[in-house]
Copies of this chain bind each other. A is one copy, B any other.
Amino acid sequence: MPEAVPVPSREADVRLAPEGGFPLEGGARLPHVVQRVTMYGAPRADGANVVLVPHALTGSGRVGEWWPGVVGPGALLDTERLCVIGINCLGGCYGSTGPASHAEDGRPYGSRFPVLTVRDIVRAQRAALAELGVHRVGAVVGGSLGGMQALAWGVEFPDDVAIVAAIGASAALTPLSIGISSTARAAIANDPNFNGGDYYDGEPPARGLDLARRLGMLTYKSEELLQQRFGRRGDRRGADPAAGLWERFDVEGYLAHQGEIFVRRIDANTHLALSKAMELFDLDRDYGSVETAAARLRARVVLVGIGGDWLFPSAQVRETWRRLRLAGADAVYLELASDHGHDAFLAEPEALTRLLAPVLAPLYTQEARVAATALG
């Protein structure tokens, strides 16, 4: 049954231009930062009805568009009863300041865009929400890179969020995932059109970005799903894969198609910036240890591991939960059983709803307001 795509009630470009520029964790400063904020519903003064939904590597602030079945009228995050907010990440290409934005000299940042961290991304979000009068949120709910942001919200702004739900995300990427992510970045850099990142006057590095997307897609799906969906069948639109070096299996045709549509909607430099932020995210490194991070947390934390996820193996998610718990955090671990792999957070809205509805129930009750007030 197709779900209604909710219409944003408000979309605002919030300009943050603090004295001396917007400071980044790596030491650089951006003269100003735009955050494109998309709101579904109106925030209450105490923020208890607000759910911030940070996006994953390739998303946007239009959360109602990319998370159907989870965000919408009557859904887990009910846009008719809550205020659901999406913000395009700093570094993004859907309205917020990113590498394609113009620097002070009127030229795109390109190669001059500084390295970002997840902490930078959530700090920009927090500042933008404050500009809009939202000083506290009932929950931050995200998957993958969005889950990392949810965790970072809980640790960075312990007084400002009541519930943190991170799906398919752990305290840090594994070396295998860093290897894949960095190889995808190298594929972009290898494209002759890349020109070190300064390609906005010419053709974009579409072939490199295509390869990066194919790699990404492979990490988002489980072996089981690929087996069910593609098996060893030949490409549905091509010849027998044995007929030529470039005749394809179905899975290969699928990946090529995914690459093709991806390059039309994502800026390669955004892909680099956000992949790098994902690789760098590390509660141990960022806060000294997961335990130190956990000691800052005041929110209830829900970690959802996904069976068959090999980008963020569920064992790693469980291990993050274990460490948070040992350090005294109010953390629960839930497992989403799915054949989808990492993508299950997008592909299994019903299962995710069953899993998270009890945890998010306080958003819909008086208790939420009380809890949020108590945090203050």
> Complex: how many Å from CA A246 to CA B197?
12
Instruction: Find chain B residues with CB under 8 A from A25 CB.
Output: 242
Say whether A272 faces chain B, with CB atoms less than 8 Å apart: yes
Known contacts A179-B252, A180-B218, A192-B192; 16 further A-B pairs (Cβ under 8 A): A174-B223, A174-B226, A175-B229, A175-B232, A175-B249, A175-B250, A176-B251, A182-B249, A182-B251, A182-B252, A186-B210, A187-B211, A189-B246, A211-B211, A241-B280, A249-B279
Closest B residue to A185 using CB positions: B245
Provide a sorted-by-A list of 20 A–B residue pairs whose CB atoms are within 8 angstroms.
Answer: A115-B243, A174-B223, A174-B227, A175-B223, A176-B218, A176-B221, A176-B226, A182-B255, A185-B245, A186-B214, A187-B211, A190-B190, A190-B191, A190-B210, A215-B215, A232-B282, A241-B279, A245-B272, A245-B273, A249-B279
Choose among B182, B207, B273 the residue that contacts A248 (Cβ–Cβ < 8 A): B182
A374 to chain B, nearest CB (A): 36
Q: Which residues of B contact A354 (CB under 8 A)?
A: none
Asked if A323 is an interface residue, CB under 8 A from chain B, the answer is: no
Size of interface on A: residues with Cβ below 8 Å to B: 60
Does A244 sit within 8 A of B, measured CB to CB? yes
Contact of A313 with B by CB under 8 A: yes
Min distance, Cβ A191 to any Cβ of chain B, angstroms: 7
Number of copies: 2
- How far does the alpha carbon of A246 sit from the alpha carbon of B175 in the complex, in Å? 16
A interface residues with partner B (beta carbon < 8 Å): 25-26, 115, 117, 172-176, 178-180, 182-183, 185-187, 189-192, 197, 207-208, 210-211, 214-215, 217-218, 221, 223, 226-227, 229-232, 241-246, 248-252, 255-256, 272-273, 276, 279-280, 282, 285, 310, 313
Query: How far is the CB of A305 from the nearest CB of chain B, in Å?
Result: 15
Please determine whether B183 and A211 come into contact, CB atoms closer than 8 angstroms: yes
A264 nearest CB across to chain B (Å): 18
